[in-house]
Structure 1
Amino acid sequence: MYDYVIAGAGSAGCVLADRLSRDPGVQVLLVEAGGADRHPYLRVPKGVGKLFGDPSYSWHYRTRPVRPGGNPDMWVRGKVLGGSSSVNGMVYNRGTRADWDGLAALGNPGWDWESVLPAFRAIEDNALGASPTRGTGGPLRVSTVRDPDPLCDELIATGETLGLRAVADVNEHDGERIGYAMATIKAGQRFSAARAFLRPARSRPNLVVAAHTTVTRVLLDGDKATGVQVRTARGSSETILARREVILSLGSLATPKLLQLSGIGPAGTLRAAGVEVRLDRPLVGARLREHRCLALRFRLNAPLGANRQLAGSVAQARTGAAYLLTRKGPLARPAYDVMAFLKSRPDAARPDAEVLLAPWSLGALVPGKPAAVEREPGVSACAMVLRPTSEGSLAITSADPDAAPDIDPGYFASAHDRKVAGDLFGRLRAYFATDPIASRIRRETFPGPSVASDSEEEVVRSALDGGYCGFHAVGTCAMGSAPQDVTDPELRVRGVDNLRVVDASVLPVMVAGNLNGPVMAMAWRAAESLLADR
């Protein structure tokens, strides 16, 4: 028996395991379906592309078709110590003051900016040094691009020409801005949550990490969570009891799935799946919000950028050898080198779009096949509606834990999202038509001239057919002060004692940007609450 049983060794789970096990009088178990993060590709920032399709290291969740007649998405999540922080693009954001203050205004005291900022500063060891918003000396290394491709300076200069503020730290300002991406990278190597928080804690005798172990159900005694049922690497089923709490940190897809499998969710969904209803909670799996990235790709008129270093086995081998010697080059950089936050239209109250820019380009997407870097030189952009209001859902389809859930991504269901996407697309085209980057462009390769900048319908269709999932799902166990909200502001599951959710699923709205950093800060803050309750 353990005091705390944490399901999921991802961004939140690793932080919780570290923080809670610092008390030698507390027994902590961290359960992870995946294995150790020892594969060398998991250390190379861009090396994870070699593992993205490998079910040994990632969960692959297939969604409904993203539009009638369209293709489904494949939503990938980490299945390894460190979870998605071990397989993500490593871009590090915090969200803005207004995002966090808005979260508190929705009825979630303690999650305002001034309350969360100390957690960010505590977890960070920021290469740019300490500031009122940055931390140093913390467990998580955060850095900017060390040896950027020369084309990136031109991408930033183009943004300045259009009125964006060029900054060294894109997280330090909340206005329109552009700069090199901040990322969880140290000396050219990925710095995952497992490396930052779990690895230093593994030597503690009061922390047990059970890898290759899948949580299949939360055990309930009346209205109290008493432990979890797990399936071990040998395939046997075991019961693990928790004296104090069961904490679910499986993410916005697996956490609501587990709750539903445990009988906590919409009664109709549970009955249809053959699961006994223990607690009818209609919003478990509902209110799902996810970023859908608009994609633009361009052919360059000169041999610039990183395609020549990344396309083809010979080039990859040469670039890989150089990386091993220097820990530099394109393999040492985050998924996207440059990022900008901007307004989709001049009268927007604040930036409502995020743009990620890279000195490389992918070929045409083919459903079911990994995207490949083009051999000819290119540049690309991935842009997203920063705070989508469209909502999807997740529902189990069977009592079998291995059965795939039904996921409706809900992309562009709201007029707000369609409007911002259309306006954003126009701004992106204007950006690439502006010098200095315009002087490097030969032509637009995707979506091309068939998509008109002023056609909202065509822009949305191109995003659905040729864009990307942002891998930033939230909301499926959203917190709030209303009785129907799945979790309360302390992240406790309403109606069940000793059961808590600590992951992105508790966010009722998007904390603007990439979510790995916010999830780690939330877990740090949640651990403070757990320790205070003792």
Structure 2
Amino acid sequence: MFLRTTVAVVALLGAASALPSDAPQVHKRAGKNTYDYVIIGGGISGLVAANRLSEDKKKSVLVIEAGGADDNMNIRLPYAATYPINTTLFWGFVAEPEPFLANLTYAGLAAQVLGGGSIVNGMAYDRGSIADFDAWEALGNKGWGWSGMYPFYKKSTTFIPPPADVAAEFNITWDPTAYGNGPLKIGISDFQYPDTKDYFKAFQGAGAKMQLDGNNGDAYGASWWANTMNPETGERSHARNSYYEPVSTRSNLNVLLDTLATELVFDSGKELTAKGVKITNKKTNTTSVVYAKKEVILAAGAFNTPKLLQVSGIGPKSVLQAAGIPVKLENDAVGSNFQDHPYMGVAFNISNMSTPNPTSLDTDPAFNASAWAEYRANRTGPLTLARGNSLAFIPLPEIDPKRYRSLAKQLTGQKDDAYLPSIYKNNKKLLKGVRAQRKILAGLYQNPEAGMTEYAIPASGSYELVALEKPVSRGTIMINPANPQGPPVILYNAMSNPLDKAILASSVRWIRQVWARPELAKFSPVELAPGPQYTSDEDIINVSIQSQAITPSLAHPSCSCPMMPEEMGGCVSDKLLFYGVKNLSIIDASIMPLIPSQHIQSTMYAIGEKAASIIKSRG
């Protein structure tokens, strides 16, 4: 690490002059307190919607963002996505002790910066499968299946291919019809470590389907995937430089930075109507109210959207009463259905790696220096590679061919409220939604075109990601009754359902046989953790919990205000309007009814695009 740090600092000083120095243009509100649209949250979906809604010069848009507009080399440089996170750009949430993970506590990662997660994430741009989104539509959300989402994925992106010689050497393929001419420029790095080819061959030898491009809906098997890296600049593409900065001079588009939305403001006539937002400037501690003539749009994310609804009097009655908040609208779905991707690592000792390899930037001064020189001169090379461009999403029938049918049967046979948080007990609406979700998930368990577990296709197999993409455990996001305006009470509740444990254990066994394949024999892989002596579900999971190898979150918090029919425990309709409240919509990750098999940022861009289209259609 010392080598990387010292050389990187010197290189950064030399590179700084080559980087654009213009600060993002941010328009402050000047004495105005009423807009057509007020968007709470300047993350991905919020900035996408703000761009599209402000295309109409007659419509005014305000974005309220709690963070600043930070911009520095560690944000721009793709390789910096491998660095430890900059905690100043996050909310700093800490979840409750996890009852099924030895009562350990984990971070609730959510960005607090203009651009949201696109500023701080690992830069993977991968979409879910056709089956993932057809499952949304099957839950009663007309127009939200793959055919309804795909046009908005395409609309948001421009794909820039890697050089032909690199594509030929690594057999990098893509589907040009999967992309459009959108603001977000994405690509595959022109530099790949040589051993990646061997790991691809091992996955293929193990039976993983090699896809032309998983972003065309075939997000199962193994594939090359883009990063949110603009090959034209060699820098990170994010919502701010793609969707906000190019249109920031629009007089009808306004952004408030360092501003907290503390409460929704309503007209309480015959029907509850959202009319504005109470806000507090974090730097001056002054409070005011901004008003929306057409719509208040929540884009605050899966943690803060349910929190803001609850502090405003919308949510589970018992939660609001415990906090002393008058109940304006009872809805037990607010903060329920919370999902993320739990994951663990399988560690191996790997020998005989080719050079260069992912450790070379740390251990080889000459390679480090040449990488920085190439980046300064051409914006190409190893520093344009974030955390890799290759992933596999393996369906359960491949992972566990002997048990997948019985696991599906077990899921549909579970008692309705089994393994669920207390808010579900005797709750007819929430349990009806659970039954519908489990029926659909049981189908996905058996679907050979639906990824169940995510694996990295690495350049070094010393640590292998094993992420559960279709968890059936459910958590909650609730306000703290002792401090409603403070951090929300986050319960991942990961691994509460024994089927998640069974599938995660099966997923570990599957990757072991990949690493044992002849294509990887030259690396002499030896499993270090959990350890090859642990073979049963129980042993694999128990030792992994004891060693703190299982983490409840891949930083993909989702689904806490689900888009489903109200009678099934939904918060918003397929038109994104909150049930029982006029002029209030939600457009962030909280609306997803089931978390897809993917890193979710691509879907946030698509949701932002689709949401803007829906909202515009209201006139």
TM-score normalized with structure 2 length: 0.78
Structure 1 position 321, deviation (Å): 5.5
| More moved, 274-283 vs 201-210 | 274-283
Name 2:477's counterpart in structure 1.
394
CA contact (8 A) 1:59 1:79 kept: yes
**Farther-moved stretch of structure 1 (416-425 vs 497-506):** 416-425
The one-letter code sitting in structure 2 at the alignment partner of 1:144 is I
Partner of residue 188 from structure 2, selected from 144, 158, 170? 144
Structure 1 241/356 Cα, relative in aligned 2: closer, same or farther at 3 Å? same
One of 47, 60, 63 as aligned partner of 2:92: 60
Matched, 1:345 2:400: yes
Residue 324 of structure 1 is aligned with which of 360, 367, 376?
Answer: 376
Residue 401 of structure 1 and its aligned partner are, at CA, apart by 5.8
SS of the counterpart of 2:227? coil
Give the Cα–Cα distance (whole angstroms) in 1 for the partners of residues 80 and 132 of structure 2: 32
Deviations 1:337-389 (A, max 9, x none): 320111322364223221123335xxxxxxxxxxxxxxxxx632212222111
- Who is 2:417 aligned against? none
Conservation of the 8 A alpha-carbon contact between 2:321 and 2:327: yes
Identity of aligned residues (%): 28
The partner residue of 1:358 within 458, 462, 466 is: 458
Does the aligned pair in 1 maintain the 2:174–2:213 contact within 8 Å?
Answer: no
Task: Report the counterpart of residue 308 of structure 1 in structure 2.
Answer: 360
Deviation of 1:314 (Å): 11
Residue 511 of structure 1 aligns with an amino acid whose one-letter code is P
- In the alignment, which of 158, 161, 165 is matched to residue 125 of structure 1? 158
Which amino acid letter does the alignment assign opposite residue 575 of structure 2? E
Letter matched to residue 261 of structure 1: V
User: Which runs of 5 or more structure 2 residues have no equivalent in the other structure?
Assistant: 1-33, 162-172, 405-445
Identify the residue that residue 363 of structure 1 maps to in structure 2: none
Match status 1:529 vs 2:614: yes
Q: In the TM superposition, what whole-angstrom CA distance separates every residue of 1:144-173 from its partner, at most 9, and x where no partner exists? A: 232111111111111111122334523235
Structure 1 vs Structure 2 CA RMSD: 2.4
How far did 1:435 drift?
2.7
Gap change, CA 1:449 and 1:199, over 3 Å in 2: same
The answer to whether structure 1 residue 212 and structure 2 residue 255 are counterparts is no
Deviations along 1:50-84, one digit per CA (max 9) or x if unpaired, are: 562422x1122211223353421112211111101
- Against the structure 1 CA distance between its residues 386 and 438, is the aligned structure 2 distance closer, same or farther, given a 3 Å change threshold? farther
Pick one of 104, 121, 126 that aligns with 1:71.
104
> In the aligned structure 2, how far is the partner of 1:105 from the partner of 1:496?
25
For 1:431, the aligned partner's letter is V
Deviations 1:461-498 (A, max 9, x none): 51682133211222110011234421111111111111
Residue number in structure 2 paired with 1:407: 490
Q: Is the 8 A contact 2:211 2:218 kept in 1?
A: no
8 Å CA contact 1:9–1:30 kept in 2: the answer is yes
Q: Deviations over 1:373-426 (max 9, x none)?
A: xxxxx6322122221111011111147465222111011222332222121111
Pick which of 110-119 and 21-30 moved more.
110-119
Partner of 1:459: 541
- 1:281–1:321 Cα change, 3 Å: farther
The alpha-carbon deviation at position 315 of structure 1 amounts to: 8.5
What's the secondary structure of 2:320's corresponding residue?
helix
* 1:476 counterpart = 2:555: no
> Residues 50 and 405 from structure 1, CA distance in 2 versus in 1: closer, same or farther, beyond 3 angstroms?
same
- How far is 1:217 from its partner? 1.1
User: Which secondary structure does the structure 2 equivalent of 1:473 belong to?
Assistant: coil
Aligned to 1:372: none
Higher helix share: 2
Cα pair distance change 1:461/1:12, threshold 3 Å:
farther
CA distance in 2, matches of 1:358, 1:88: 18
Q: What one-letter code is carried by the residue in structure 1 that aligns with 2:515?
A: F
Give the drift of 1:317.
Answer: 7.6
Higher strand share: 1
2:602 alignment counterpart: 517
1:24 to 57, 63, 66: 57
CA contact (8 A) 1:337 1:356 kept: no
What is aligned with 2:75? 42
One-letter code aligned to 1:462: S
SS at match of 1:78: coil
2:362 and 2:479 map into 1 onto residues whose CA distance is: 40
Q: Report what 2:588 is aligned to.
A: 503
Q: Secondary structure at the residue paired with 2:107?
A: strand
Q: Compared with structure 1, are the counterparts of its residues 18 and 439 closer, same or farther at alpha carbon in structure 2 (3 Å cutoff)?
A: same
**8 Å contact 1:256–1:284 — kept in the other structure?**
yes
Equivalent residue, structure 2, for 1:334: 386
Query: Cα–Cα, structure 1 residues 273 and 517, in superposed 2: closer, same or farther, change >3 Å?
Result: same
CA distance in 2, matches of 1:20, 1:397: 34
Distance 1:133 1:518, change over 3 A: farther
For residues 299 and 198 of structure 2, what CA distance do their matches in structure 1 show? 41
Q: Determine whether 1:427 maps to 2:479.
A: no
Q: Of 242, 248, 251, which residue of structure 1 is paired with 2:298?
A: 248
- 1:253-264 residue pairs with structure 2 within 5 A? 253-264=303-314
Q: Are the counterparts in 1 of residues 67 and 257 from structure 2 also a CA contact under 8 Å?
A: yes
Secondary structure of the corresponding residue to residue 103 of structure 1: helix
Is residue 262 of structure 2 the alignment partner of residue 200 of structure 1?
A: no
Partner of 1:369: none
Question: Given the superposition, is the C-alpha separation of residues 315 and 446 from structure 1 closer, same or farther in structure 2, using an over 3 Å criterion?
Answer: farther
Structure 1 residues 130 and 196: alpha-carbon distance in aligned structure 2, compared to 1, 3 A threshold: farther
| Residue 299 (structure 1) aligns with | 349
- 1:173–1:216 distance in 2 versus 1, CA, 3 Å: closer
Q: Deviations over 1:234-265 (max 9, x none)?
A: 21111111111110101111111111111111
2:81·2:386 contact (CA, 8 Å) conserved in 1?
no
Q: Which of 380, 393, 398 does residue 463 from structure 2 map onto?
A: 380
| Alignment-mate amino acid for residue 475 of structure 1 | C
Within 5 Å, give how 1:480-491 maps onto structure 2.
Answer: 480-483=564-567, 484-491=569-576
Aligned counterpart, 2:127: 94
Query: Cα distance 1:130–1:435, how it changes in 2: closer, same or farther (>3 A)?
Result: closer
Q: Which one has a bigger Cα radius of gyration?
A: 2
| CA distance in structure 1 between the aligned counterparts of 2:590 and 2:202, rounded to whole angstroms | 37
Structure 1 gap ranges (5+): 361-377
How big is each residue's C-alpha offset from its partner over 1:428-484, in whole Å with a ceiling of 9 and x where there is no partner? Answer: 11111113223214422333345x133345336516821332112221100112344
Q: Which AA in structure 2 matches 1:306?
A: P
Aligned 8 A contact 1:145 1:180 in 2: no
Answer yes or no: is the 8 Å Cα contact 1:216–1:401 preserved in 2.
no
Distance between the aligned counterparts of 2:221 and 2:174, measured in 1? 20
Q: Structure 1 residues 42 and 200 mapped into 2: Cα distance closer, same or farther (>3 Å)?
A: same
Determine helix, strand or coil for the equivalent of 1:59: coil
Question: Secondary structure at the residue paired with 2:102?
Answer: coil
- Amino acid in structure 1 at the alignment position of 2:276: G
In 2: Cα distance, 1:62 partner to 1:329 partner? 37
Deviates further, 435-444 or 472-481: 435-444
Q: CA deviation at 1:331?
A: 3.4
How far off is 1:303 after superposition? 4.9
